[in-house]
A and B are shown apart, each in its own frame.
Chain A
Amino acid sequence: MEIFFTGIALLVIGGLLTCLFKETIKFKILALFSCIASILLIISAILPSKPFYFQNPIFGNVGVYNDSLSSFFIIIISIITMLSSIYSNGYMEYLAKNKKITAHCFFYTLLTAAMLMVVTVQNAFFFLIMWEIMSLSSFFLVIFEDDKKEVLSAGIKYLIYMHISVVFIISAFVLMSIKSGSYDFSTFKSVFVSHPYLKDIIFILSFVGFGIKAGFFPMHNWLPEAHPAAPSHVSAVMSAVMIKTGIYGILKVLTFIDMPTPFITYTVLFISVLTAVYGIIYAITQKDIKKLLAYSSVENIGIIGLAISLIMFGKLYHSNLVITLATFGCFMHILNHSVFKCLLFMGVGSIYRQTHTKNIEQLGGLIKKMPYTAVFFLFAGVAICAFPPLNGFISEFLIYGSMFSVLKLPLTSLSFISIVLAIASLALVGTLVILAMTKIYSVAFLGNPRSDYSKNAEKDVPKSMLIPMGILAILTFVISILSPFGEYIIPLNLYADYNQDAIFRVSVILLIITMIVSSFLIFIIIMCLIKRIVIGKSKQYKTWGCGYNKSNSSIQYTASSYVYPFSSILTPIFKKVYEVKKPKGIFPQNAYYNSEIQDVEEAYLINPIIKYDEKILTKFERLQDGNIQHYILYGLIFLILMLIGAAIC
C-alpha cells in the first residue's frame, strides 16, 4: 500500500503547491502531479500489495487495502481524473479569468484523493468521512462560477441531495455495526448470517443512500442540475467516476449480504429499468447539451443497476453463468460508461469553449470548424449507442446475454415476464440512445451553423484538450478489442466461487465477438475502398431544396423538431413549460416563444414535498429570535433531554 499512499500524498501536495505558482501554470502543475500520482496508483492497483492497518481507539481496526473490487475502481478513477486534469489546462484558460483557481485545483485533487480512499478504506466510519470529503469537495468544484445564480442554486441542491443520501448510508452502516459490534467491513458479513431478516432493510437503506449518489430514479434530480453548472472537466469526473462510487457502495453491500432476497432483487430490477427508461426519455427532449448528457448518465446508471439485479438473479437461482455474465457486464459497463461519458463531456466542453453556448438549437456545422473534436465525439457517440466495434457494445451484449441466460433457468412466471420486459426495455433504451445521440451529433456538428455562436467558432480547441479526448477515443476501441482478457482487471469471482468454467466460457464468447467485430471493421474498410474505386470523380452542388437554391440555415431541422415525432407520443407524461410573448398591435415587436420540458418527477413528487416541509418548518421560525441567551437555553434543554434519554436507555 506504500505506493498507493505515495500517490494520494502526491495528489494532495500537488493541489496545495498550486498556490505557489502563477495563474497561468497552475493547471499545468495540477496535471503534472495528477499524472504522476495516477501512474503510481494504477501500479499499486495492479501489483499485489500488503494491507495497511492501524488501530483507532474508538472505531477499532481500520484497514486500508485494495481487494479486487477496489483495484478496478482505482484504475478507472486514476485514468479519468488524470485525463480530465490535462483537459482542464485548455478548458479553464477561457473560464478562469479572475477566479480563484487555487481553491479549484486543491478541491480537484482532494476530490480525487477522497474518491480513491472511499474505494479502499475498509472501515465504515472512515468510509463515511471520506464520503463526506468527496461530496463537499465536489460541491466546491460545482460552484466554480459562483457569480451565476443558477450555478449556486444547483450547487446547493446537490449538497442537500448528498446529505439526504448520507443519512441513509449512515443508518445502514450503524445498523450493521451495532449487530456486528465493529466498524470493520470484514465483520459485516457475519451480521447477515446471524440476522438474515436484516437483509431487506439494510440493503434498501444503502440502496437509497448510494442510489442518490449514483442517480437512480426518483432521486436523480441533482444530476441534470449539477452537471451543467460545473465546468466540463468537473462534470466529466463527476459523471464518469464520482457517481460510480455510489455503484461501488451498492456492490460492496451486496458482498456483505451474499445471498439476496427476492424482494431486493425485484426492487433493484424495477428501479433500474425505470431509471434507464426515464433517463433516456428526458435526455432526448433536453435542449441544454450538458443536461442531455446528465440524463444520459442517469440512463446508464439504470443499465448498470439492471446488471446488478441480474447478479442477484444469478445468485437466487445458483447459476454461475448468469452471475459471471452479469458481473462482467456490470463492471464492463462501469468502465465503458466512464470512458465514453468522460469523452462526451469533454467534447461538449470543447463546444462550449468555442461557441460560448450550451443551447443545442444555436449550434450547427461545427464539424468543419472543429474536425478533431467532431471525430472524437463521433467515437463516443457510437460507443454510447453500443454499436460494434466500440466498447459500449461489449457490455450491453453481456447484459443481454445474462438476461437471455436467465430465461433458461427454471423461472416462475413473474420472473419470466419481468426479465422479458427488461429485455424489451433495454432494447427500447438502446434505440432511444440512438435518437438522443443522433440528435446531439447532427444538430451540433452537422448541417449549417444555426446562429452567430456557432458561426463565430473559428478553430478547434488547443492540443491540451484534444489529446485527452484522443486517448479516450482510442480507449473506446482498445477496451472493446481487449475485452476477452477482462478477467484480469474485473473481479469476476466476487459474487460466485468456483466459477472458472463460466469465466472461461464467457471469455471464449467474447473472443469470438471481438473477432466478429474486427472483421466487421475490416469489411467496412474494404467497402470504403471499393466505393473509392467505383466512384471516380464527383461534383459539388447545393443541397436539394425543391428547386430553390437560396436556402439558409434556418430551414434546417432543429433539435426539437428532430425528436418531435417521438416526444409527441409521450406528451401525456411530460410537463411542458411555455414562455410565450405573442406579437401584438399593428407593428409587432419582440415576439418570442420558448418551450421547455420539466422533469415531471421533480414537479409532482419533489416540489410538493419541499412545499409541505416549508409549511411546517416556518412554524418553528419563532425559535430563531436572534437572542443568544435563548439559544443557550435551547442547548441546555437539549442536553438535559439527552441525559434523560441516556438514563432511560
Chain B
Amino acid sequence: MIIKIVKMLLLLLMPFIMLGIIKKTKAFWSGRKGISIFQPIYDFSKLLKKEPVYSETTSFIFKLAPSIILTSAIFSGFFVPIIGIEFLINIDFSFVIFAYILGIGKFFALLSAMDTGSSFEGMGASREACFTTLVEPGFFIITASLCAMNHINTFESFRQFVTDLPLITKICVIVLAITALFIMILIECSRIPTDDPATHLELTMIHEVMILDNSGCDLAFIMWASGIKMLIISTLIASLIIPAVIPQYLTILLYILILIIISVIIGTIESGMARLRMSHVYEFVFVMVAIALIILALVTMKVFGT
C-alpha cells in the first residue's frame, strides 16, 4: 500500500523536481547559485491561483483542452513499468493504449493552439505535429523489437531480458534503446536541441509558443502535463536499466537516482549547446528513427540469423 502511494506521489510530484534539477544544473554550469529545486512547485501553485484570461477568438475547445491534456498525461503514466499500476501494465498490448492516450492529449493541444487564431500558435502547432509524426513510428519499432526479443506483449518487455541472447547483443540493444528514448525526451518534451524552453522570441519556439494564450490554471495544467510526459519517457529508460528481480524499495531508489541523472544530463546539454536550426531538427528526429531501425536489424539478426 505504502509503495503504491509512493509510486503515485512520484508520478505526480517528481516532474516538478526534475524540472527544478534541470534549472539548477543550468545555473551551476553558468556559475549562478540558481533557484531552489522546488521552485517549479511554487510556480505551479502560484499559477493555480491566478485568474485566467481567455482570447475572444477561442471556443469551448480551448477551455476543455488543458483538462484533457493533463488527464491523458497522468493516465498514460499508469501504463508504464515501475510507477504504473500492475494490472494495467500486464494487459496485452497495453503500450498501444498508452500511445493513443498520450496521443489524445497531443490532439487537443494542437486544436487549442489553433483555436486562438494566432499566427504564432499555429506555427508551434504545425512544428509539433510534424515532429510527432516522425517520432511515433520509431517508438513503435523499438517496442515491437523488444517485444519480439522477449516474447512479451506488454511494457514489461522493457524490463525482462530473459532471452538466451548473447550478453553483448543485449547490451547493444539496451544502449541503443536508451539513446533513442533519450532523443525522444528531447523532442517530445521540447528541450534543447529541438526547442528552447527558455527563449524569448516566439518565432523560435515550438511547445512554448503553442501555449502563449494559456494562462492561470490552464497554463499550470499544461506545464504539469508536459513534466509528467518527461517523467514517463524517463521511466521507460529507467525500466530498461533496472533489473526486474531486485526488491521494490531498491527499485524505487534506483529509479529516483536515474531520474536525477537524466535531469542532470538534460541540464548539461542545455548549458552546453544551442538550439538546432529548425531545418536541422528533422535530421535530429531522423536519428532517433534510424537508431530504432538499427535495433530492429540487430534483433532480427540475432533472433532469426544463423
Contact = CB atoms under 8 A, between A and B. Distances in A.
Partners in one complex: yes
A281 to B, nearest CB: 10
B114 A397 contact: no
B103 A397 contact: no
Contact of B130 (A421, A435, A441, A543): A435
Determine the main DSSP class of B at the interface with A. helix
A528 B64 contact: yes
Interface stretch (A4-12, A132-140, A243-251, A379-387): A379-387
Contacts of A426: 140
Interface in B249-306: 282, 292, 296, 300, 303-305
Interface stretch (B147-155, B158-166, B167-175): B147-155
Given A447-B114, A447-B116, A438 B53 contact: no
B118 interface: yes
Contact of B136 (A374, A387, A401, A430): A430
A482 interface: no
Given A408-B153, A434-B129, A442-B114, A385 B107 contact: yes
A555 B60 CA distance: 22
A416 interface: yes
A266 interface: no
Contacts of B104: 382, 385, 387-388
Interface string A523-566: 11001101100111111111111100001010111000111111
Interface stretch (A298-306, A472-480, A509-517): A509-517
A580 to B, nearest CB: 24
A538 B114 contact: no
A509 B88 CA distance: 11
A536 B114 contact: no
Contacts of A520: 71-72, 75, 101
Contacts of A443: 114
Given A367-B59, A430-B136, A432-B133, A448 B117 contact: yes
Interface string A373-412: 0100010001001111000010011001101110110011
A368 B59 CA distance: 7
A500 interface: no
Most chain-A Cβ atoms within 10 A of its Cβ — which of B100, B125, B133? B133
A446 B100 contact: no
A523 B57 CA distance: 28
B67 interface: yes
A416 B133 contact: no
Contact of B126 (A400, A427, A543, A565): A565
A424 interface: yes
A193 interface: no
Interface of A: 364-365, 367-368, 374, 378, 382, 385-388, 393, 396-397, 400-401, 403-405, 407-408, 411-413, 416-417, 419-421, 423-428, 430-432, 434-435, 437-438, 441-443, 445-448, 509, 512-513, 516, 520, 523-524, 527-528, 530-531, 534-546, 551, 553, 555-557, 561-566, 569
Given A403-B144, A404-B153, A543-B213, 5 more contacts: A367-B61, A446-B111, A556-B117, A556-B119, A565-B130
29 contacts: A367-B59, A388-B100, A404-B144, A407-B148, A413-B305, A425-B137, A428-B137, A431-B133, A434-B132, A438-B111, A442-B114, A446-B115, A446-B117, A448-B117, A513-B91, A524-B68, A524-B71, A527-B67, A531-B217, A535-B216, A536-B51, A538-B53, A542-B55, A543-B57, A543-B116, A544-B213, A557-B123, A565-B127, A566-B130
Q: Across chains A and B, which 8 residue pairs bring their CB atoms closest together, nearest first?
A: A557-B122, A442-B114, A447-B117, A413-B304, A565-B130, A427-B140, A431-B133, A387-B104
